[in-house]
């Protein structure tokens, strides 16, 4: 018969405690009470942090749903963002909060107080969503100056301006977005809208303004989702199929058209003033157009009255601004008479002494 197993070595088992590291001169029970109190306070603080973070994450639920819809739309149209581009601020902020929540909800180490009541899951799930694979971006190449752009692509932009509906605009942009989504194209459409209204082509202005708003809205949407404008052409027109987004776009277009009308009025007034000023400059400003108090000379005499009393030779010299002719006329006159006429001319501001 084999020798029975000896269990006596387990008769006096000393349970170890991870926290049994107190100094021999310190009362062990006091030490444990202090450690227990510290642990309880730490757990309470962790619970408060979890509650705060969960509340913060809940606040991002709505923006996350909106961003999810946009991402889903872009995924369905097989259009992604460019590799290496930064996430939108809302996505980054939400991801940061999710990461913080994940850290806060990690299982806490078991201890003698919490081990029997530990209900936390062994596996924690990250709330952060995986980013969709980025799609290829279109390279627009070197940007042309506005003059170079108009020379190359004016006809193409004019074709886009003449499109009557949104469906045709979408297809045209899908074919020529590398040109029409440049800033120069947006500037061309803006100036064309203003020029049409100034020339009295109000209906044409309204159509051009709508096309301008399409380009502007696509650029703004691309900026919001941090991607190339060409990547949001289909999502933009897909959004316009929803009544709410279509009404919003039409309202923005109407407001833009009203601004064009107001600006055209101001611009016409400016042009009229400039033309009137040019006409006055070509004609020359006459003394009759200047008020009496402004045309009086340093001696208080009215130059109009003085010039009417001058001899014809002096009048001709002043009108032609010929100094030599004036000197010749004065030399032919009596000295006292010439001196009297010149004094009146100086007092009237016709001659500077």
Q: Is the pLDDT of residue 275 over 50?
A: yes
Question: Is 186 buried (19+), middle (13-18) or exposed (0-12) by CB count in 10 A?
Answer: middle
CATH of domain 146-282: 1.20.58.610
Contacts of 311 (CB under 8 A, 6+ apart): 329, 333, 341
Segment 247-252 mean pLDDT: 93
pLDDT at position 347: 83
pLDDT at position 54: 76
Assess contact for 122 and 216: CB atoms under 8 A. Answer: no
Lowest mean pLDDT among 16-20, 52-56, 246-250: 16-20
- Spell out the domain ranges in the chain: 28-106, 146-282, 292-348
Q: Is the pLDDT of residue 68 over 90?
A: no
Q: Is the pLDDT of residue 189 over 90?
A: yes
Q: Is the pLDDT of residue 116 over 50?
A: no
Report the distance separating Cα 243 and Cα 247, nearest Å: 6
Cut 0.75: pTM above it: no
Contacts of 147 (CB under 8 A, 6+ apart): none
Segment 3-28 mean pLDDT: 60
145-177 tens-digit pLDDT: 888 998 999 999 999 999 999 999 999 999 999
Please count the CA atoms within 13 angstroms of the CA of 248 that sit on its side-chain side. 10
């Amino acid at each position: 018969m084999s020798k029975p197993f000896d269990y006596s070595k387990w008769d006096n088992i000393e349970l170890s405690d991870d926290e049994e590291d107190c100094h021999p001169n310190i009362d062990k029970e006091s030490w444990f009470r202090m450690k227990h109190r510290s642990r309880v306070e730490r757990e309470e603080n962790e619970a408060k942090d979890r509650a705060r973070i969960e509340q913060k994450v809940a606040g991002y639920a709505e923006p996350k749903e909106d961003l999810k819809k946009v991402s889903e739309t872009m995924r369905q149209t097989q259009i992604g963002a460019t590799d290496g581009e930064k996430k939108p601020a809302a996505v980054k902020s939400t991801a940061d909060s999710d990461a913080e929540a994940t850290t806060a909800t990690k299982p806490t180490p078991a201890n003698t107080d919490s081990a029997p009541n530990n209900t936390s899951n062994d596996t924690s799930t990250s709330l952060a969503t995986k980013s969709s694979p980025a799609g290829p971006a279109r390279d627009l190449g070197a940007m042309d100056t506005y003059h170079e752009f108009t020379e190359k692509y004016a006809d193409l932009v004019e074709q886009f301006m003449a499109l009557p509906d949104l469906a045709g605009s979408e297809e045209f942009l899908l074919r020529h977005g590398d040109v029409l989504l440049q800033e120069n194209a947006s500037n061309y459409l803006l100036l064309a809208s203003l020029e049409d209204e100034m020339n009295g082509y109000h209906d044409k202005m309204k159509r051009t303004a709508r096309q301008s708003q399409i380009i502007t809205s696509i650029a703004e949407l691309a900026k919001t989702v941090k991607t190339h404008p060409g990547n949001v052409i289909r999502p933009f027109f897909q959004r316009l199929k929803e009544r709410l987004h279509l009404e919003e776009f039409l309202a923005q277009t109407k407001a833009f058209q009203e601004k064009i009308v107001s600006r055209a009025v101001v611009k016409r007034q400016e042009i009229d003033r400039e033309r009137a000023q040019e006409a006055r400059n070509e004609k020359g400003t006459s003394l009759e157009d200047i008020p009496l108090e402004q045309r009086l000379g340093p001696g208080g005499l009215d130059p109009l009255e003085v010039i009417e009393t001058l001899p014809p030779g002096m009048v001709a010299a002043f009108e032609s601004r010929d100094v030599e002719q004036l000197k010749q006329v004065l030399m032919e006159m009596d000295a006292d008479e010439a001196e009297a006429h010149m004094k009146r001319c100086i007092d009237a501001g016709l001659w500077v002494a």
